[in-house]
A and B are shown apart, each in its own frame.
Chain A
Amino acid sequence: MWILRLNMSDLSYRLEEVPAKYQHLGGRGLTSTIVHDEVPPLCHPLGPNNKLVFAPGIVTGTPAPTSARVSVGAKSPLTGGIKESNAGSSWAQHVANMQIKAIVVEGQAKGYHLAHLTWDAASGKPKVEFMPANEYAGKDLYEVFPKLYAKFGDKVSIAGTGNAGEFGYGNSGIVFNDMAGRPSRYSGRGGMGAVMASRGLKFIIADPKGAPGVVIKDKALFDEGRKKLIDALRTHDITKPKGGLNTYGTAVLINIMNEAGGLPTRNFASGRFEGAAKIAGEAIFEGNKKRLGKELYNHACSPGCIIQCSNTWHKADGSEHVSCIEYESDWSLGANCGIDDLDDIGELVRLCNAYGLDTIEAGTTLAVAMEAGIIKFGDGKGAINLMHEMGKGTPLGRILGGGTAFAGKAFGLTRVPTVKGQSMPAYEPRAVKGIGITYATSTMGADHTSGYTIAPEILGVSGKVDPLSPEGKAALSRAFQATTAFIDSTGHCLFIAFAILDIASGFEGMMEECNGVLGTNWKSEDAAKLGAEILKKERAFNEAAGIGKEADRMPEFMKYEPLPPHNVVWDLPDSALDSVYGEL
């Protein structure tokens, strides 16, 4: 197994044997450790000393179900702290199959280049060729991807950055291909696209031809684990075929969050959106059915996923409009902007994909612009125009591209829903206290995936607790954050958690898969301990970057603006927030 270093300053590469201390790491554990060990915490995120790290998970590339995930890490231009941003794509498998544990992008090139990564059978090693890529700069990714496939063949996979990254936006993701070659799978959060573009790296094209695959140390154990996990995913109501995720996609959450009074609406002014039913996962399913004349179930974003939660939205004439309208995107560009038209939301998602923007940060920034009176809440066409301004880099577009906190400051607003510079996603923390604790304390800035207490607080998964009560929520968030850091390292999609938190043998299966690949002897209860080690490194990086516990706070407006319909404020004491990491 190798660490592949791309030196953009002189366009060279180096393969290093994986050092012993990194051998049991993968995904988030590995990106965060390399950033912690190698990136000066006080460096400028877009300057020469930042590094961009890609790492497939521990079991990525094996036949483990739902495991084609990649972590992308660096110092974030959005938060100023450490970042891990996760996506599902065949690219993750291709890189893992070339026995590459991590790609570390260093230095800065003049102009844009792409790296063509292939397997060199003669030497039995991966090989990299750099090529000029200026011709792809400043272009719509839907235009560029087909050109890359035409040049490098339709079996390759692509990681890249769009216009947003080139402009250096705090809101810029790294794009990966989905199974149909669309530029639609994103490591969206935290400005990783700008870190990539500022290295002078536009794309990494991975061609898996001849790649030997991932070494599995104990095949029997791995297979046993894999079978247990597959059984759990196939039987749990949320993850099974034609279950909730496969039928309605992640946007099925719109209605339940609305019902719970926790769907942030019109820039976090209310927890209920009167147009919720019109944009929910059910409406996407029914809308497609009407336009296509048949039921359409969701597809996998990446090879080997048996949950298959990714949807496709169709135009009135039945032709494809966009994939994928995720819950977060549907909410940020819909309810949070007061927009209740799925065609407008679909177009906004498509433009994020085209320009290389994070859908969450884009929607929360549009909502702040609406609050400032740049356009009106509910103005879908106006929102589409603003998205073009971002993609084209007009002066207003650049203010919006800076992200929600940046735009909120430019517009002189107080209702700016961010923590550590990153906007909150689709759950109102005043109405769901546990997720608020995660937003406030996560090493990533406001982030739902890093400690998804929504499972017990709203969905009745892994227990049932009252979302409005603060009782026990610091411990709950801590436990979720630690376990998640481990799952994000395995290479499994976090959505397996719905099944394995309820079905213990599924959790055991995940651990056995890892043990099979690595030759370790981890038990289920080790997951949280291993995750806590990762969190401690991330935390240490942030502290050295000047982001200490004083930054683990909610925006002040949430403490004095009661949120309808429950009319609740954020009322947890700071000591509860400090206990999350204080007692880790």
Chain B
Amino acid sequence: MRIHVRLFAGLNRYVTNKPSGIPFDAEIPEGATVEALIRHLGLPPDEVRIVFVNGRAQPLNFALADGDEVGIFPPIGGG
């Protein structure tokens, strides 16, 4: 299945030629979880803090569906 991925706040440096916040597609097996996607992308798991799927924060064991929009963040804060 195809997932639309966006990486933020420096996580894009682990995936070649992907600027921050610009969506790209990842092909992963049907029913794969957020955790599997992170592994597929080669992101260091301890640098991932928050994962949004279609605008809702989801846990690592959340099962993705074809066409999902996923945004991945390291720990960040501001105000």
B60 to chain A, nearest CB (A): 12
Contact B8 A244 (CB under 8 A): no
User: For A248, A251, A276, A448, which residue has the most chain B Cβ atoms within 10 angstroms?
Assistant: A248
Q: Smallest CB-CB separation from B59: which chain A residue?
A: A464
Residues on the B chain within 8 Å of A455, using CB: 77
Q: Smallest CB-CB separation from B70: which chain A residue?
A: A259
Contact B79 A255 (CB under 8 A): no
* Given known A-B contacts A244-B9, A281-B9, A256 and B50 have beta carbons under 8 A apart: yes
Residues on the A chain within 8 Å of B22, using CB: 277
Residues on the B chain within 8 Å of A328, using CB: 79
Q: Is B40 an interface residue (CB 8 A)?
A: no
B68 to chain A, nearest CB (A): 13
Q: Smallest CB-CB separation from A498: which chain B residue?
A: B77
A250 and B21 CA atoms in complex are apart in Å by: 16
Q: Is A99 an interface residue (CB 8 A)?
A: no
Bits for A440-465, please: 1 = Cβ < 8 Å to B, else 0.
00000000110010110011110010
The B-contacting residues of A in range 532-584, CB under 8 angstroms, are 565-566
For B52, give its contact among A245, A259, A498 (CB under 8 Å): A259
Contact A253 B78 (CB under 8 A): yes
A460 and B75 CA atoms in complex are apart in Å by: 8
Q: Is A140 an interface residue (CB 8 A)?
A: no
A253 and B78 CA atoms in complex are apart in Å by: 6
* Count, chain B residues at interface, CB 8 A: 22
Residues on the A chain within 8 Å of B79, using CB: 250, 253, 327-328, 448-449, 452, 454, 494-495
Q: Smallest CB-CB separation from A449: which chain B residue?
A: B79
Contact B76 A248 (CB under 8 A): yes
Residues on the B chain within 8 Å of A468, using CB: 56
Q: Smallest CB-CB separation from A494: which chain B residue?
A: B79
Contact B76 A256 (CB under 8 A): yes
Contact B55 A459 (CB under 8 A): no
Residues on the B chain within 8 Å of A449, using CB: 79
A283 and B9 CA atoms in complex are apart in Å by: 10
Q: Is A85 an interface residue (CB 8 A)?
A: no
Q: Smallest CB-CB separation from A431: which chain B residue?
A: B55
Report the interface size class on chain A: 35 or more
The A-contacting residues of B in range 7-53, CB under 8 angstroms, are 8-10, 19-22, 49-50, 52
For A286, give its contact among B20, B52, B56, B75 (CB under 8 Å): B20
For B50, give its contact among A243, A261, A327, A459 (CB under 8 Å): A459
Q: Is A143 an interface residue (CB 8 A)?
A: no
* Given known A-B contacts A261-B55, A277-B20, A566-B55, A237 and B8 have beta carbons under 8 A apart: no
Q: Is B1 an interface residue (CB 8 A)?
A: no
For A466, give its contact among B20, B57, B77, B78 (CB under 8 Å): B57
Contact B20 A459 (CB under 8 A): no
Bits for A266-298, please: 1 = Cβ < 8 Å to B, else 0.
000000000011001111001000000000000
Contact A327 B78 (CB under 8 A): yes
The B-contacting residues of A in range 500-554, CB under 8 angstroms, are none
Q: Is A249 an interface residue (CB 8 A)?
A: yes
For B71, give its contact among A259, A286, A565 (CB under 8 Å): A259
A245 and B9 CA atoms in complex are apart in Å by: 10
Q: Is A247 an interface residue (CB 8 A)?
A: yes
A328 and B22 CA atoms in complex are apart in Å by: 22
Q: Smallest CB-CB separation from B53: which chain A residue?
A: A259
Q: Is A70 an interface residue (CB 8 A)?
A: no
Q: Is B73 an interface residue (CB 8 A)?
A: yes
A170 and B6 CA atoms in complex are apart in Å by: 40
* Given known A-B contacts A256-B73, A280-B21, A250 and B78 have beta carbons under 8 A apart: yes
Contact B57 A252 (CB under 8 A): no
Q: Is A215 an interface residue (CB 8 A)?
A: no
Contact A255 B9 (CB under 8 A): yes
Bits for A220-248, please: 1 = Cβ < 8 Å to B, else 0.
00000000000000000111000111011
Q: Smallest CB-CB separation from A280: which chain B residue?
A: B21
Q: Smallest CB-CB separation from B46: which chain A residue?
A: A237
* Given known A-B contacts A277-B21, A277-B22, A282-B8, A238 and B77 have beta carbons under 8 A apart: yes
Q: Is A260 an interface residue (CB 8 A)?
A: yes
Q: Smallest CB-CB separation from A465: which chain B residue?
A: B57
B57 to chain A, nearest CB (A): 7
A237 and B46 CA atoms in complex are apart in Å by: 11
A255 and B19 CA atoms in complex are apart in Å by: 13
User: For B6, B50, B75, which residue has the most chain A Cβ atoms within 10 angstroms?
Assistant: B75
Bits for A38-65, please: 1 = Cβ < 8 Å to B, else 0.
0000000000000000000000000000
B35 to chain A, nearest CB (A): 16
Nearest 4 interchain pairs by C-beta: A277-B21, A250-B78, A237-B75, A238-B77
Q: What are 19 contact pairs spanning A and B, CB under 8 A?
A: A245-B76, A248-B10, A250-B78, A251-B78, A252-B9, A252-B77, A255-B20, A255-B73, A256-B76, A260-B55, A282-B9, A282-B21, A286-B19, A327-B79, A449-B79, A452-B79, A461-B75, A498-B77, A566-B55
Known: A253-B77, A253-B78, A259-B55. 6 other contacts (CB 8 A): A239-B77, A243-B75, A327-B78, A448-B79, A460-B50, A468-B56
